[in-house]
Amino acid sequence: MTGEAGDRSDRSTLLHVDMDAFFVSVTIRDRPELHGRPVIVGGGARGVVLSASYEARRCGVRSAMPMTRAWRLCPTAVVLPAAYPEIEASSAAVRELLLQVTPMVEMMSVDEAFVDVAGALRRFASPVDVAEHVRARVHDEQRITCSVGIGPTRSVAKLAGRRAKPDGVVRVPADAVVDFLHPLDVGELWGVGERSRQRLESLGVRTVADLAHLPLPELCRAVGPRAGTHLHALAWGTDSCRVSPHPVSPAGAARPSERSIGSQATFGHDTDDTTLVRRELLRRSAAVARRARAAGLVARTVALTVRFADFTTLTRSRTLADPTDVTTTVHATACELYSALGLRRTRVRLVGVRLEGLQRRDGVHEQLVLGAREHGWADADRASDRAVRRFGRYAVRPASLLREDRP
């Protein structure tokens, strides 16, 4: 099953391309002293793990795990903040690479994509050849690795991709799908969460084979008609969902996978210090604005999230007159939203800033303002971005953050 070349008549032409420990790989690729060591990309003591190297994963560290637990599991790990500008740039470069193979590319997130290569087999001998071509270019151009699963459906390709990790290729031919799927634990199926798995186990379903042979009416009674029909199709590898590419429209609308860009942080200790909160809002505003500029996007709406010591969470948003990617505009709006809450000695646990209503910057016409300076904050942001790309993420920072350990 693994490494078979296949032939042009095989229906296994869907690739699931997944970057290996993407946030970690990009963040440490220029730090060879960290290669081979347990590394965690994530927040502070009360934050969560965004990504972990395979060395850290062997200690039990997983994405979305609280940092306190990750430190207990892997006390020797090196903890780093995410290098968002580099991550966004590398993701965009991988997407462009895939589009050079075929227009049938659906980005699921910054680090994974589905690719239908049926139309590319005029230039490549087989889907495996396409996968090896992609892996070689990602390695050579981005200096990171990726794994590729190949199958006749998206769900089978994704499961094959898990078996390929790290840095490999696994192909499931169309005539081997049932043999591949049925020995698997039912929890491995795409979309089966912990609660769904518990419900299925109550019916005696523990493997995909058990699910496949459960009478469909009984399955539908247990999980509902829609979910039951979907799970039955997954168990037999007959789900028909295809790749849906999302090209940028002429009007400059953002792709559906780019609905919003957000950044949030949990304070080391709950605080009612307004100055400290505003400083953290600046850090979050700078992060989301920088990521928007890297992706060529501007936002119509700025949203603020505040979580208090009792875990009560408030969200407020404001739609701007003109879409923006300017840090000072985002920060000023976030601070105005925070002030409007009218907090008095209320201890804050977490703050976050999110950009919504995204659209392509090249589809927006800037309004000229009579008497405005020739060069303003937007130019300063772009100059800062250039300096960061050349000299590193700490090269340029707002003055109020100079004493902080992290941007």
Binding-site residues for Mg(2+) sit at 18, 111
First to last CA, the chain: 46
Helices 216-223 & 194-202 angle (0-180, nearest 10) = 130
Distance of CA 156 to the CA centre of its chain: 21
The helix or strand, by DSSP H or E, that contains position 92, with its residue range, turns out to be helix 84-101
Residue 4 annotated among the catalytic residues of the structure: no
Q: Alpha-carbon torsion 357, 362, 365, 368, what sign?
A: positive
**Strand 146-151, strand 105-109: pairing:** unpaired
Q: Give the DSSP per-residue string, 109-149.
A: ETTEEEEE-GGGGGTSSSHHHHHHHHHHHHHHHHS--EEEE
Q: Which of 77, 18, 17, 30 is nearest to 53 (CA)?
A: 77
Q: What's the order of all strands across the beta sheet hosting 39-42?
A: 49-52, 39-42, 78-80
Answer yes or no: are the C-beta atoms of 2 and 171 closer than 8 Å. Answer: yes
Q: Measured at the alpha carbon of residue 61, what is the angle toward residues 71 and 25, in degrees to the nearest 5? A: 105
Binding site, annotated residues? 18, 111
Q: Give the DSSP per-residue string, 312-351.
A: -EEEEEEEEEEEE--HHHHHHHHHHHHHHT--SS--EEEE
The helix or strand, by DSSP H or E, that contains position 275, with its residue range, turns out to be helix 274-294
Three-state SS letters, 228-247: HHHHHHHHHCCCCCCCCCCC
Euclidean distance between CA atoms 159 and 182, whole angstroms: 12
Euclidean distance between CA atoms 105 and 232, whole angstroms: 27
Alpha-carbon dihedral angle through residues 360, 362, 365, 368, given to the nearest 10 degrees: 120
Amino acid in the structure at residue 172:
V
Euclidean distance between CA atoms 278 and 284, whole angstroms: 10
Residue the block writes with tokens 């006390």: 75
Q: Which of 55, 86, 112, 258 is catalytic?
A: 112
Residues annotated as part of the active site:
112
